[in-house]
Amino acid sequence: MREGSLEAPVRHPLAWQSADFWDEAKLEKEMERVFDICHGCRRCFNLCDSFPRLFDLVDNSPSGEIDTVERAEFDRVVEACTLCDMCFLTKCPYVPPHEWNLDFPHLMLRHRAVQARREGIGLADRQLADTDSMGRLGTLASGPANWATATDNRLTRRLIERTAGIHHEARLPRYAGETLVNRALREPVTVNEAAPAFGTRKAVLYATCFVNFNNTDIGQATRAVLAHNGVDTEVVHPACCGMPRLELGDIQSVADAAIKVSSELLPWIDKGYDVVALTPSCALMLKFEWPLILPENAALRRLAQATFDLSEYVVSIARKEGLAPGLQKIEGGVSLHLACHARAQNMGAKGAEMLRLIPETKVTVIERCSGHGGIWGARTENFKVAVKVGRPAANQALRNEGAQIASECPLAADHLAQTMDIVAGDANGRQVRHGVHPIEILARAYGLVPGR
């Protein structure tokens, strides 16, 4: 056995259909084994809050080892995991094919799944994870919904905190007045027949819950950029990819979502379309998590092979066919946060590569966690921790004065902007800064959408 592993990480399928997966005694034994290895290594100390919590538990135990840590305290470690996968992909030297076979995020997921089966999932958590239902209601009543969720609406935000467990200071996504699917029908784009990629590609855009219901500007900027580069697009949103439910340990619901969404996306592949997911978390689900949850499903493997992350797709066009001319400098440059779920796709920093296609524009990469973790970072018990975790990234972004703040993960961009306000002392209940998706910056550089 070698110390550490020099091979590329290999992820094993999630054995959730095995009886051993649900055996609580075996789960506790595996957690003891993994936590003991983590305690002896500590390479991951500066990632999420799970590891500082674990190391504090060990250091404050009677023996200074895992054997005297109260097993009930393990829950505190699990609660802090955001399933970002950074420990597995960037830090841990003991992931497969190393014989110690560590997969910390999937172990945390297993714990949540067992806990969810034993205790059930609360009503508020189930509703928050049902992003399609929430999105449909939010777009139908976007005015009242956005009024109620604004951070300066102290009455409603305190009520939301008491009933749904969402911290009253956490900025929440606003709802659009219509879905991206409907907006795309109402605002057609013209494909540039002079572009190098014209006639070579067509793409179906998996809108994702966030872009379909919350920020349709990302979708329209994507359609504009791809059309300008000769790519014909269609927009669909069959259903949520299941990431919010995965975070709760509801694996069966994720498997059901995989079957539903894939059944509607596969016919587009048959017609020669590439599948492009508009947010990294959803791309990660289609490309990696679904095939690990249902490894025997050949249709999911086929979909995974045909799916692109958005930035990955634009970079692929630039490399293979070449981009249409017309990109202009972005004044002040860009501070680009590398989203964890983009990094977890193991495809390289495609968001940075895409923005560096813009001439004479400085792109500064922020390779630290924003702290948000999806719904996790907005919860009452987690918001302050989310700000603490995101503080190093916010400090780095603040040093890049004048630069636009961007992240491929819209929730990370918003949380990073809020943390910057908090760190700089500019918040005072107002939203001073805001983040954008890099595709919006590329669209501005082409002059396809308003903005500097």
The yes-or-no verdict on residue 452 having pLDDT over 50 is no
Cis, peptide link before residue 97, omega less than 30° from 0: yes
Categorize the per-residue pLDDT at 271 as very low, low, confident or very high, splitting at 50, 70 and 90.
very high
Q: Evaluate whether residue 157 is within a structural domain.
A: no
Q: Evaluate whether residue 415 is within a structural domain.
A: yes
Q: Is 408 within 8 Å of 351 (Cβ atoms)?
A: yes
Q: What percent of the chain has pLDDT over 90?
A: 81
pLDDT at residue 429, as a whole number: 47
Q: Evaluate whether residue 399 is within a structural domain.
A: yes
Q: Which one, of 379, 382, 370, lies nearest residue 409 by Cα?
A: 370
In total, the chain counts a number of residues equal to 452
The total of other beta-carbon atoms located within 10 Å of residue 280's CB is 29
Q: Which one, of 64, 4, 5, lies nearest residue 36 by Cα?
A: 64
Of 75, 97, 119, which marks where a domain is finished? 119
pLDDT digits (tens, 9 = 90+) for 75-88: 999 999 989 898 99
Q: Evaluate whether residue 152 is within a structural domain.
A: no
pLDDT digits (tens, 9 = 90+) for 346-401: 898 999 999 999 999 999 999 988 888 888 889 999 999 999 999 999 999 998 87
Phi/psi of residue 123, nearest 5 degrees: -60, -45
Q: Evaluate whether residue 156 is within a structural domain.
A: no
Of 99, 119, 139, which marks where a domain is finished? 119
Higher pLDDT, 375 or 7: 375
The yes-or-no verdict on residue 17 having pLDDT over 80 is yes
The total of other beta-carbon atoms located within 10 Å of residue 86's CB is 22
Categorize the per-residue pLDDT at 234 as very low, low, confident or very high, splitting at 50, 70 and 90.
very high
Q: Is 356 within 8 Å of 363 (Cβ atoms)?
A: yes
Report how many domains make up the chain: 2
For residue 132, how far is the Cα from the chain centroid? 17
Of 66, 92, 119, which marks where a domain is finished? 119
Q: Which residue has 């219509």 as its token pair?
A: 178
pLDDT at residue 228, as a whole number: 97
Categorize the per-residue pLDDT at 74 as very low, low, confident or very high, splitting at 50, 70 and 90.
very high
Amino acid, single-letter form, for residue 283:
A
pLDDT digits (tens, 9 = 90+) for 140-195: 999 999 999 999 999 999 999 999 999 999 999 999 999 999 999 999 999 999 99
Tokens of 186: 């109402």
Rounded to an integer, what distance in angstroms lies between the CA atom of residue 128 and that of residue 165? Answer: 10
Rounded to an integer, what distance in angstroms lies between the CA atom of residue 427 and that of residue 430? Answer: 5
The total of other beta-carbon atoms located within 10 Å of residue 359's CB is 10
Rounded to an integer, what distance in angstroms lies between the CA atom of residue 39 and that of residue 61? Answer: 12
The beta strand positions in 174-297, using DSSP E, are: 202-206, 232-236, 274-277
For residue 277, how far is the Cα from the chain centroid? 12
Categorize the per-residue pLDDT at 303 as very low, low, confident or very high, splitting at 50, 70 and 90.
very high
Q: Which residue has 């959730």 as its token pair?
A: 16
Which pTM does this prediction carry? 0.92
The yes-or-no verdict on residue 134 having pLDDT over 70 is yes
Q: Evaluate whether residue 409 is within a structural domain.
A: yes
pLDDT, the chain, mean: 92
Q: Residue 371 sits in which domain range?
A: 334-445
| Ramachandran category for residue 240: left, alpha or beta (phi over 0 → left; psi -120 to 50 → alpha) | beta
pLDDT at residue 427, as a whole number: 57
Q: What's 379's DSSP letter?
A: B
Listing DSSP states for 408-429 in one string gives SSHHHHHHHHHHHHHHHT--TT
pLDDT digits (tens, 9 = 90+) for 42-57: 988 888 889 999 999 9
Rounded to an integer, what distance in angstroms lies between the CA atom of residue 177 and that of residue 143? Answer: 8
Categorize the per-residue pLDDT at 242 as very low, low, confident or very high, splitting at 50, 70 and 90.
very high
Q: Which residue has 């680009």 as its token pair?
A: 336
For residue 151, how far is the Cα from the chain centroid? 23
Listing DSSP states for 21-53 in one string gives HH-HHHHHHHHHHHHHHHHHH-TTTTSSTHHHH
Range in 22-31, 68-77, 251-260 with the lowest mean pLDDT = 68-77
Tokens of 337: 């946060």
Rounded to an integer, what distance in angstroms lies between the CA atom of residue 58 and that of residue 69? Answer: 6
* 286-321 per-residue burial string, b: 16 or more CB within 10 A, e: under 16: bbbbbbbbbeebebbebbbebbbbbbbbbbbbbeeb
Q: Evaluate whether residue 440 is within a structural domain.
A: yes
Q: Which one, of 169, 243, 251, lies nearest residue 210 by Cα?
A: 243
